[in-house]
Amino acid sequence: MVRTFFAALGLALPVGALVFLSGFGTTLQSEPNGEPKGAAATSEHPFGPGAVPFDDFRESVEGSSKPVRGGRLVVHIPSRPLHLNHVIEAGADARRILEEVHARLVERNMETWELEPSLAESIEVFDRLNFLPSKGGSASSVYGREVYGSHAKFAWLPIEWSLPDDPSSSEETPPTISFFNDGDYESVDSASVFLFRLRQDALWHDGHRFDAGDVIFTLDTYLNPAVQSEHARHLFQQIRSYEALDAYTVRVEFEQSYFMSLDIFEDDFAILPSHIFNLADEDNPHFDSEATDAERAEFIHSNSANVNWVGLGPYRVTEFSDQHIEAERFDNYFDKQDAGWVDEIRWRIIPDDNAAKQALLAGEIDFFGRLRSRELLGEFTAQEAFAEQFDKGFYYSPQMNFIAWNQRRALFRDVRVRQALAHSFDWQEFIDTIGSEMGEAVTATWYRFSPAYDAELERFPFDLDRAEELLAESGWFDRDGDGVIDKDGERFEFEYLFNKNDATMRLVGQKLKENLERIGIVMNMAERDFAAKQALVGERNFDAAAGSWILGPETDPVGLWHSKGADVERSFNQSGYRDERSDQLIEDIQGELDDNRRIPLYHELQARIYEAQPMMFGCVFPVKFAVSKRVRGVQRFFLDPGYSLRRWFILPKAEKR
């Protein structure tokens, strides 16, 4: 394996260096005062990664497409974020606001779906080779290096080796490639050490300079057991050590190779300003070097900066009220080419959709993302008040719904029973009727439009006769003639648990109930509020439970499908799925750093899980939106949040608010 690694390294060297020097040309950059990022193009899959055109959903585009600065954008959000401190809260609404008011070490390019350096100007990735102690030598590990350069996804640099305590010291060493004898080493942990070289020109919104201290403090905070950050702590517990090598360099070493090690520094890593949240920072007015973990945690929990957010993004929060969150453009944002066009963004909070639609028609909102299918295609958007002011469109985002079967209960233990249930619901018909033909039935929990998803995998067709056959094969048929199938004296009767606010899964339940009645199964609808439903599912006190997952472009399947979560209360392996081969595939996926080589692993895992039907795999529905005609520069991305407000601009002639 190691020999292959070095061979690959040797081959990649000249090619990679060439690529690095020339740069990857696919991502278009905005020129200062010129066209915005992105360009019209088509991609292999209309909803997958690829260049995304501007305003392509509009029937006609009047006026200039040249962006201008100025104006205020009003965007609807459906619930009040609890606050904006993502370290202690993981809600989607806060995350969408942070997109514009904060910055991360690495950012995902919404078009290519690739991670790119952001606050980290460059990222050096070191591979670690562990020597066997019996073979002597002073070093137990050595490191090789590759670099994420600016705008190049991956480029090999001349390989250098150095001692583990300071892998960054041998900058100018001439390129050498060393080969080792078999048996000198035990393994190579690829991508186990990251060196983040931070930008030196990034400022917090209060003018304080951003540096390595902020990154180290944030890692400390995620790992402080007294901080309310358990939801993400497991991600950072994979880190063996981290340190600031100097004011702008942070070294992070993982326990082992992990395919998403860089990803956790994107979505899950919200950097906190040390001078505001860190009691041990001398720049903090509340400086207290003696503070305990609990006191530090309490200081973070109760900090008013959780709402009066001081971030690093192109927009600076100026107001956080019950009605709206407002941000103005931050002139000192480090990336001048992506610094936003509008002067102000206002996130208007209206929890009630009907009230929000009234505000939309009144022209108080520029963007509303909660249209229903029938509204998108029907009267609501046809009325004059709408058509005069708005264009409409849709985009997909990584989210899917499902019904988990609790395999800990005897009723759902037989795979034939679960497959029979899969044959009992016609998702396509549901999408055609309820979703007005907008939506896709899925066969996996990973994102329908990601390369990891195997779109060729065939679904179990809607076929009640086949369902009856499968049930009969597993011993379920109507012995006593009461119209309900039975086995060992037990009737086939179960409870369908769903969140009372989830209108979609309520409808799914009603239709499924009708279908199941036809094959002699009694399904009782059990409606609970969300917290109660989650508690019942967490305690595994349910038969069948409806839900939906929010996913990333790629999600580690371990939480949902590895058998180690099957017996853990409240883990996301709700159905109690266990399969040795699947466990192995998941572990292989976690350790496989080559994007292309992960795909067949995902596909095999998808086929195995789908065949076993631990849950009824539902569908993805697109987000249907209305956007004001005065707003331009709108691109539809197929990743959450589906748009990038900093690229939007307002036509000057329509400037009213």
Partner 1 sequence: MIRFALRRLGLLIPTLFGISILVFALMHLVPGDPAALVGVDSDGAVSANVDASAQVAGFRERYLFDLPLWKQYLHYVGPFNLSDDGHPWFGGSGEDRWNGLLALDFGREFLRPQVDVGSELWRRLSITLPLTAMALLLAYLISIPLGIYSAVRAGSLFDKTSALVVFALYALPTFWIGLLLQMSFGRTGLDSLPTLGLASPDAMDLDTGARVLDRLAHLVLPVLTYALGCLAYLSRQVRSGMLEVIGAEYVRTARAKGLPEFNVISKHAFRNSLLPLITLFGAVLPSLVGGSIVVETIFDIPGMGLYVYESLLRREYNAIMAAVLIGAVMTVVGMLTSDLLYAWLDPRIRLEGGSSDA
Q: Which of 7, 40, 82, 247 binds partner 1 (CB under 8 A)?
A: 82
Residue nearer to partner 1 on the CB measure, 485 or 620: 620
Query: What are 446's two structure tokens?
Result: 């990973």
88 scored as a contact of partner 1 (CB under 8 A): yes
How many other C-beta atoms can be found within 10 angstroms of the C-beta atom of residue 226? 15
CA atoms within 13 A of residue 538's CA, in its CB half-sphere: 7
Of residues 431 through 450, those in contact with partner 1 by CB under 8 A are: 445
Of residues 561 through 600, those in contact with partner 1 by CB under 8 A are: 568-572
Whether the Cβ atoms of residue 371 and residue 382 lie closer than 8 Å to each other: no
Q: Which stretch binds partner 1 (CB under 8 A): 213-221, 330-338, 454-462, 553-561?
A: 553-561
Q: Which of 197, 346, 562, 647 binds partner 1 (CB under 8 A)?
A: 346
Q: Which of 352, 473, 480, 514 binds partner 1 (CB under 8 A)?
A: 352
The torsion angle over the Cα atoms of residues 273, 300, 75 and 549, rounded to 10 degrees, is: 110
303 scored as a contact of partner 1 (CB under 8 A): yes
Of residues 102 through 161, those in contact with partner 1 by CB under 8 A are: none
299 scored as a contact of partner 1 (CB under 8 A): no
- Give dist(CA 170, CA 586) in Å, integer: 36
Residues whose CB falls within 8 Å of the CB of residue 215, separated by 6 or more in sequence, listed in order: 105, 196, 198, 244, 250, 271
Q: Which of 477, 549, 583, 595 binds partner 1 (CB under 8 A)?
A: 549
The residues pairing with 627 across neighbouring beta strands, listed in sequence order, are 367, 391
Of 352, 12, 63, 57, the closest CA to residue 190 belongs to 12
Q: Which of 534, 599, 608, 611 binds partner 1 (CB under 8 A)?
A: 534
Q: Which of 83, 205, 329, 629 binds partner 1 (CB under 8 A)?
A: 83
Residue type, 200: Q
Residue nearer to partner 1 on the CB measure, 177 or 385: 385
> Closest distance between partner 1 and the C-beta of residue 139, in Å?
35
The residues pairing with 177 across neighbouring beta strands, listed in sequence order, are none
Of residues 391 through 430, those in contact with partner 1 by CB under 8 A are: 399
Q: Is the peptide bond before 461 cis (omega within 30 degrees of 0)?
A: no
Of residues 209 through 238, those in contact with partner 1 by CB under 8 A are: 225-226, 228, 230-235
Whether the Cβ atoms of residue 217 and residue 276 lie closer than 8 Å to each other: no
> Closest distance between partner 1 and the C-beta of residue 330, in Å?
21
322 scored as a contact of partner 1 (CB under 8 A): yes
Residue nearer to partner 1 on the CB measure, 382 or 568: 568
Of residues 60 through 79, those in contact with partner 1 by CB under 8 A are: 78-79
291 scored as a contact of partner 1 (CB under 8 A): no
387 scored as a contact of partner 1 (CB under 8 A): no
Of residues 11 through 50, those in contact with partner 1 by CB under 8 A are: none
* Number of residues lying near partner 1 (CB under 8 A): 75
> Closest distance between partner 1 and the C-beta of residue 362, in Å?
4
> Closest distance between partner 1 and the C-beta of residue 231, in Å?
4
Q: Which of 291, 457, 536, 607 binds partner 1 (CB under 8 A)?
A: 536
Matching residue, tokens 């709408």: 386
The torsion angle over the Cα atoms of residues 265, 269, 273 and 274, rounded to 10 degrees, is: -80
Terminal-to-terminal C-alpha distance of the chain: 63
Q: How far is CA 233 from the centre of its chain?
A: 16
User: What region does 38 belong to: left with phi over 0, alpha with psi -120 to 50, or beta?
Assistant: left
Of residues 489 through 508, those in contact with partner 1 by CB under 8 A are: 499, 501-502
Residue nearer to partner 1 on the CB measure, 26 or 381: 381
Residue nearer to partner 1 on the CB measure, 76 or 647: 76
Whether the Cβ atoms of residue 35 and residue 117 lie closer than 8 Å to each other: no
551 scored as a contact of partner 1 (CB under 8 A): yes
Q: Which of 388, 550, 584, 597 binds partner 1 (CB under 8 A)?
A: 550
Strands (E), 445-588: 486-487, 490-491, 493-499, 522-528, 544-550
> Closest distance between partner 1 and the C-beta of residue 359, in Å?
5
- Give dist(CA 452, CA 259) in Å, integer: 13
- Give dist(CA 590, CA 295) in Å, integer: 36
> Closest distance between partner 1 and the C-beta of residue 567, in Å?
11
For every residue of 576-596, DSSP letters joined together read: ----HHHHHHHHHHHH---HH
Residues whose CB falls within 8 Å of the CB of residue 11, separated by 6 or more in sequence, listed in order: none
Per-residue mark of binding to partner 1, 256-275 (x: CB under 8 A): ------------x-------
631 scored as a contact of partner 1 (CB under 8 A): no
379 scored as a contact of partner 1 (CB under 8 A): no
